[in-house]
Amino acid sequence: MSWETPSCRMETFESSPGRLSQPYVALSYAWGDLQAPKECIKLNGQIFEVTKTLYDFLCFFRNSLVNEETRPWIWIDQICINQLDNSERSHTVSFMSDIYREATFVVAWLGYDLWSTRNAQRLGPLSRDGLLLLQPILNNPYFTRLWIVQEVILAREVHFVSGHIWLPLHDLPQYRFCRAQNFLSEIPTTSLDLLSNKDNQRKQLAIDPTYQRHEDFRFSIINYCDNVCSDPRDKVYALMGFVEVEYQVPIDYSKTVEQVFHDAFQILWRDWLTDNENNLAFTAYTVLRLAKSMLPLSPYIVFVKMMRARLRHLERKRNDSDVIRYVFMFRDRYSVLTSD
């Protein structure tokens, strides 16, 4: 999109993996409260409603130092995907990882918080007082979103922006050490872990420019199932951009939440065929966590009852492994929901 005053225009460009007809920037942001009143912009001369968070970014982008002649095209999901068309939405989300991976850079919009932003600019040498200035920034709801994991980690380069200020967050991975040493427990793990993972990928790409991040689906569920998304189906779909090929779940927004969970469960189910009890127990724990994070209460209770029956043959080995004990600890924690 190319911007003029409060209006924008949208165009379609041909592209294929690794080959772009038009360079672009991609936006990473939190949509905000979907029930809140929308703001209006002009899109190709027509009134178009967007969330307040996106509206604030568009105002920033329009008034930024980027002049009109060099202002880049920018890809924004809320505008570039017809959110009311499940077929288009499913198709585009299936290659969302390529969109962020191939962007010239990604702008991570944290919103307007001028007091916190100005304090973050004062970040100096590694110290508790210096790091405390970052606490409000790193507690930003942006870092709790599930979709931003792939948007940030897969990007070639990420520019964090708050207010009218570009934030110096690139060196933050070193601060994980401080948290590990209880030096700064107030800094949340979600933001530091994300930035650390991004730093690790940057180092891998420096060694091998063809490197692409792939994770075990189960580890991705455990690591990110507590992250926030407005659509429960995205508890699965938002992970597809960086999980291993054999764990890919076909993206289809015409399916219900329960159907999407079933699709994921069927893929994870293959690990039940192994004779390795630790592997079996870890998979059981994974699907329980996924069920708890995305299913409504009634189907969740039905699923856990089914899992209780499947886990009975592990009962005699529950003290043989930390992983197996952890599975039963999780199951027993919710036994009040599943008592016969």
Same domain, 226 and 115: no
Q: How many CB atoms lie within 10 A of CB 166?
A: 14
Spatial CB neighbours of 231, under 8 Å, sequence gap ≥ 6: none
Same domain, 260 and 170: no
Same domain, 19 and 159: yes
Query: What pLDDT, on a 0 to 100 scale, did the predictor assign at position 257?
Result: 96
Last residue of some domain: 207, 242, 269? 207
Query: What pLDDT, on a 0 to 100 scale, did the predictor assign at position 153?
Result: 86
pLDDT bracket for residue 53 (50, 70, 90): very high
Residue 146 within any structural domain of the chain: yes
Same domain, 146 and 245: no
Same domain, 240 and 199: no
Report yes or no: 198 and 158 within 8 Å, Cβ to Cβ.
Answer: yes
Last residue of some domain: 154, 179, 207? 207
* Exposure string over 208-243, b if 16+ CB within 10 A, otherwise e: eeeeebebebbebbeebbebebebbbbbbbbbbbbb
Which tens digit of pLDDT belongs to each residue from 295-328? 988 888 888 777 777 666 666 665 666 666 666 6
Which tens digit of pLDDT belongs to each residue from 218-248? 989 988 988 999 999 999 999 998 888 888 9
| Burial environment of residue 70 by CB neighbours within 10 A (0 to 12, 13 to 18, 19 or more) | exposed
Q: Which two tokens stand for residue 222?
A: 């455990």
Residue 71 within any structural domain of the chain: yes
Angle at 200 between CA 119 and CA 129, to 5 degrees: 25
Calculate mean pLDDT across residues 240-259.
Answer: 92
Same domain, 240 and 182: no
Helix axes 277-294, 322-333, angle to 10 degrees: 30
Query: What pLDDT, on a 0 to 100 scale, did the predictor assign at position 77?
Result: 94
Report yes or no: 96 and 28 within 8 Å, Cβ to Cβ.
Answer: no
State the DSSP string of 14-69: -EETTEESS--EEEE-----TTSPPEEEEETTEEEEE-HHHHHHHHHHHHSS--TT
Containing domain of residue 79, as a range? 2-207
Lowest pLDDT segment from 41-50, 133-142, 208-217, 263-272: 208-217
Same domain, 191 and 280: no
| Among 10, 86, 80, residue whose Cα is nearest residue 44 | 10
pTM, 2 dp: 0.80
What's the domain count of the chain? 2
Report yes or no: 27 and 109 within 8 Å, Cβ to Cβ.
Answer: yes
Report yes or no: 2 and 115 within 8 Å, Cβ to Cβ.
Answer: no
| Among 184, 191, 37, 165, residue whose Cα is nearest residue 113 | 165
Residue 212 within any structural domain of the chain: no
Same domain, 148 and 123: yes
pLDDT bracket for residue 336 (50, 70, 90): very low
Same domain, 156 and 259: no
Same domain, 199 and 91: yes
> Of 334 and 78, which is predicted with more confidence?
78
Q: How many CB atoms lie within 10 A of CB 7?
A: 15
Same domain, 169 and 191: yes
Last residue of some domain: 156, 182, 207? 207
Which tens digit of pLDDT belongs to each residue from 119-173? 555 555 555 555 666 677 778 888 889 999 899 888 888 888 887 777 656 555 4
